[in-house]
Chains A and B, each alone.
Chain A
Amino acid sequence: MNFLLIAALVAQVETAPPPPGPPREPHLPTPVERTLKNGLRVIVVQKGDVPLVDARLLIKTGGEADPPNLSGLADMTASLLTKGTKTRSAVQIARGVEALGATLENGAMWDASFVTINVASSNLPKALGYLADVVQNPLFAKDEIERLRAQNLDALQVSMHQPGDLARFVAARVLFGVAPYGHNLGGTPESLPRITQIDILAFHKRYYRPKNSILVFGGDITPENAFALAEKLFGGWSGGPPSSAASPRGTAALHKIVVIDMPEAGQAAVVVTRPGIRRVDPAYSIAQVTNSILGGGYSSRLNEEIRIKRGLSYGAGSAFDLRRDIGPFVASAQTKNESAVQVADLMLGEMKKLTNEPVADVEMGPRKAVLIGNFGRSLESIDSLVSRISFLALYGLSLDEINRYISLIQSVNAPQVEQFATTHLGSDSDVIIVGDAKKFADALKQRFPNAEVIPFAELDLESPTLRKH
């Protein structure tokens, strides 16, 4: 063995991480679009590395259009689309779609209702035929309505026994009161029984129109093939623009502390909420960076303080729920009942800190990298790619935002974050805790003497007071 070889064998491995190599340029797909004669906007993003296609039809109306006493109407309508058309029963639809290995998903969100199909590209024409049929020719048969109503009521019972879900339902009502954004998208035990076939048919007729819709294809398909399929399957769809619905946010109530007492809850859910911003707000990228620092991702401040430093939760985080109108900012965590008040206090403290202490570059850089990394990964699978494009289209934003996202995030600076936080994360947030209240009664009295404690058995999600009468 010669000397050099021995030297190589005994060479020590570095005691500090080796630095990265030169970065590679990410490849971003370019969306192309066309509008059919009937007004349907069709967008295609070709990405051919896996033989799959994701196609999503968005109706630009969702749960915000539920009438005040009919919470859950948009979701019931969208969910029933696949339960029978003029030519196919619910069973035939399920069997046909599943035989293609496809998944067909449908429901309502805020601002939109959707039907999505994800399928091997060779089976797309057949699969898209099902999607087109359920959107244009749904039957809304009475027995299907009853079946879904019973299932939704049971599912709601289950959600209402999960502290995390229930805290979010309550938070929406506390923040938005009787305005549309205050209700639960899936309805309430009181509202679901009131929804009739007539309501559903009317909702479909009013909003499910080509001029109120967007069809987005992503994956292994050429734009020419996608446009031809869209023309063939949706070209005959008719109907003018829908009349618009009322403002969904009303006036927010602030500085309320509400506790839902759920005896024997295995953990407490803590939510801090305030009004956020619209998706189209010019401060969008500042909001993204601000939230990334505060509560977006593992090493964000909320998770750092609540989980990493103190072991109080499996995970704490926050998000701006971006909608057409001003949606909520929500910070949330689950913790043992005993530490619920401490967690709420830590959340409020971190929000306040952002308003009066500038963020250093050593923190800002990594938190921007988190956003840019998440963005890059979201383009890796076609369902999240299609989802991202759909939301840009839904809010009338330029589709080339996906090519500008990285520079938008990079350009945000510390004074912008501080100013944004001062306006949007300052004092007077609402605090909602769902948990076993006797285990945090003393801490609650001390920290939040004005808290209103509502027993679970007396909770009414329909009422702005949240109490049954």
Chain B
Amino acid sequence: MAIHVWYHVGSKDDPSGRSGFAHLFEHMMFKSTAHMKAEMMDRLTEDVGGYNNAQTGDDTTFYYEELPSNYLQTLLWAEADRMGSLNVDEANFKSEREVVKEEFRTSVLAQPYGLFGYDIDKDSFAVHPYKRPTIGSIEDLDSATLADVQKFHATYYRPDNATLVVAGDFDPQQLDSWIDKYLGAVPKPDTPIPRVDVKEPPRSASKTITETAPNVPLPAVALTWLAPPRSSADRWPLQIAAVILAQGESSRLYQSLVYRQQIAQDVGAEADLREDAGIYVINATVASGKTVDAVKKAIDAELRDIEQKPVSEGELQKAKNQIITDQLRRRETNDGKAFAIGNAATLLHDAAEVNNGLKKLQAVTAADVQRVMDKYLKNGKSLTIDYESK
């Protein structure tokens, strides 16, 4: 079975001068608490054939366990225990901070396009804390203290900021009584939960910038536009457009850039819609011997086309089938089901969106797709990031 605890706190809530803190903090949740020593979560899960992990995003942090169903009570106790208290010592804090710095090196520095993804966040937002990548920076990680850890826990790790999801083999009545006993006993603080209220202003003009990194074998380019928050009714038309543009080998950008013109090594499109604001991102790696300009021109031509002509009924249905089958695959496992529910409950404030969202997807028309392409891309301001070797 799967147990998820979603906290409504993410890297956008990183304290000032502490980019990467929410994620660093996530690692601390596996250290000591009032009643558990460091790594005890692993003893309760891994040692009995289970699995645990956690993930920090821009808006949320979730902790999860997959394990034999007879351990449900044990893990509800443990999740309640680390929600109620955290008791990390200096040695554990420093050692784990080194691990996070290695994670930064692995995901950002050691990969030719690691910094590219980092730059897309950093450059796309002008003022919203989404501009600070979740993984943070080595300097900010180094400046974090144990006191910051305690403060962050007290501020955000509380029952009124958390959602529990249980999926799999359990007795609902028994589950309710355990939840009351363990999670119900965690006190709710009187202090309000701070929320980011920064509004990302519209962009005044389109612009192009260049970013560099060592050991980049092929140049790459990204175009970004500001997009609406995840709760927007435009979410599904934007996602369908992204699938039509770049998911699979029959998608428009793949056909044009990778297959017919052979000017790009790969191409992607994503409606990256977050709680407060989103970005629409199109990116491509330039094929060797080809130019960034040719790639940009080809992307532009495809965008003009999707803005000017409604997509065909067949293309629309294809995109819907791709999204729905993909969701089916993700929800095969208990963990996949719990993820979908936790995500909807925390980011969209309604667990039922896991099913309602797919109905909304089915209702999207070709006119909707054209309208959102007009609204956010054609009438929006683009940021172009050229990425190349230092």
Contacts and interface: CB of A to CB of B under 8 A. Distances in A.
Interface string B31-67: 0001110010011101111110000000000000011
A374 B45 CA distance: 12
B182 A153 contact: no
Given A16-B35, A118-B329, A373-B48, 11 more contacts: A13-B185, A18-B73, A20-B71, A21-B73, A99-B321, A100-B321, A308-B95, A311-B97, A314-B106, A366-B48, A373-B49
A377 B52 CA distance: 13
The 4 closest A-B pairs by CB, nearest first: A266-B109, A373-B49, A311-B98, A101-B325
B255 A154 contact: no
B341 interface: no
B287 to A, nearest CB: 6
A314 B103 contact: yes
Interface of A: 13-24, 50-52, 90-91, 94-95, 97-102, 118-120, 147, 150-151, 153-155, 157-158, 160-164, 262-267, 269, 297-299, 307-314, 334-336, 365-366, 369-370, 372-374, 376-377, 380-383
B259 A162 contact: no
A335 B353 CA distance: 41
A98 B322 contact: yes
B69 interface: yes
A24 B169 contact: yes
A314 B99 contact: yes
A96 B143 CA distance: 54
B106 A50 contact: no
A267 B112 contact: no
A162 B110 contact: yes
Nearest to A372: B49
A309 B39 CA distance: 11
A306 B109 CA distance: 20
Given A150-B262, A163-B110, A262-B215, A94 B248 contact: yes
A94 B47 contact: no
Interface string B239-257: 0000000011111000100
B262 A20 contact: no
B108 interface: yes
Given A13-B77, A158-B112, A311 B325 contact: no
Main secondary structure of the interface of B (DSSP, over half): helix
B42 A298 contact: yes
Interface stretch (B16-24, B199-207, B330-338): B330-338
22 contacts: A13-B181, A13-B185, A15-B35, A24-B68, A91-B259, A94-B248, A98-B248, A98-B251, A99-B314, A99-B321, A101-B325, A147-B259, A150-B262, A151-B258, A151-B265, A266-B215, A308-B95, A311-B97, A311-B98, A370-B49, A373-B50, A381-B329
B102 A335 contact: yes
Contact of B332 (A157, A311, A381): A381
Interface in B96-131: 96-99, 101-103, 105-114
Contacts of B111: 162, 266
A23 B72 CA distance: 11
Given A24-B169, A161-B112, A102 B102 contact: no
A359 to B, nearest CB: 14
B318 interface: yes
B217 interface: yes
Given A22-B70, A119-B325, A373-B48, A267 B265 contact: no
B114 A266 contact: yes
B141 to A, nearest CB: 12
A98 B317 CA distance: 10
